[in-house]
Amino acid sequence: MKVEHKKTLRQRYIKTAILEILKKETNPLAPKEVYEKIISEGLYNFKAKNPISLISTELRSYCKGVNTSTSKEPKLFEMVDGKYRVLS
């Protein structure tokens, strides 16, 4: 039970870091660009083997118009030409 709770908190923090980055940007960003900005600003210390995949999964989970088994509410992002931005 504690492991699940810890995972949920970690996912929330990743989502918060992604939101913080995308709210500052005027143009949509690709997951790799989001990752690079999170690292450069020290917003999250990734322990995953493929952090860009983790970011991509989080973006898609909260993305308007993307309906998968991992989709979550509320929708926070939208995809524009394969890149993501915060819903306005």
3-state SS, residue 73: coil
Higher pLDDT among residues 69 and 24, named by residue: 24
The least confident of 3-17, 23-37, 61-75 is 3-17
Domain residues for 71? 2-86
The total number of structural domains in the chain stands at 1
Residue-level pLDDT at 1: 44
CB 28 within 8 A of CB 46: no
Residue-level pLDDT at 6: 52
pTM for the structure as a whole: 0.84
Total residue count of the chain as it appears in this document: 88
* 83, containing H or E segment: strand 83-86
CB 29 within 8 A of CB 20: no
Higher pLDDT among residues 28 and 1, named by residue: 28
